[in-house]
Amino acid sequence: EAGVTQFPSHSVIEKGQTVTLRCDPISGHDNLYWYRRVMGKEIKFLLHFVKESKQDESGMPNNRFLAERTGGTYSTLKVQPAELEDSGVYFCASSQHLGQGRTGELFFGEGSRLTVL
């Protein structure tokens, strides 16, 4: 079974440009999360999809970030325009939807490293 896959693995862009990161979750996983790790610090939550709906986007830094999950399958995270402080590793994770009060396992992708020059 394929794990969570992310593309690209590394992107180098100039300040002001646009970048789109893609995440393909494990098949059948309704929950999809985006996280970011900046400068070797803690991994921070960005947002959570349940199928195609945004359940929680409280971690999105600002309106330069746009996440979509059309059809409830893969997800994209667009940064437009990119700023220097957006550099970091963007992780996607997915899990089965088990309902309130029940936990499962969160599977992470290898991450997309973004470098903004």
| Pairing mode of beta strands 19-24, 5-7 | antiparallel
Kindly state the smallest distance separating residue 113's Cβ from other proteins, in Å. Answer: 9
Q: Which of 21, 111, 114, 116 is the binder for other proteins (CB under 8 A)?
A: 111
Phi, psi for 43 (deg, rounded to 5): -80, 125
Q: Which of 40, 66, 78, 82 is the binder for other proteins (CB under 8 A)?
A: 40
Is 31 a binding residue for other proteins by CB under 8 A? The answer is yes
Is 102 a binding residue for other proteins by CB under 8 A? The answer is yes
List strand residue ranges (DSSP E) for 1-117, in order. Answer: 5-7, 10-13, 19-24, 31-37, 43-50, 53-56, 65-68, 75-79, 88-95, 107-108, 112-116
Kindly state the smallest distance separating residue 33's Cβ from other proteins, in Å. Answer: 6
Binding residues (CB under 8 A) for other proteins: these are 4, 31, 33, 35, 40-45, 48, 50, 55-56, 91, 93, 95, 99-111
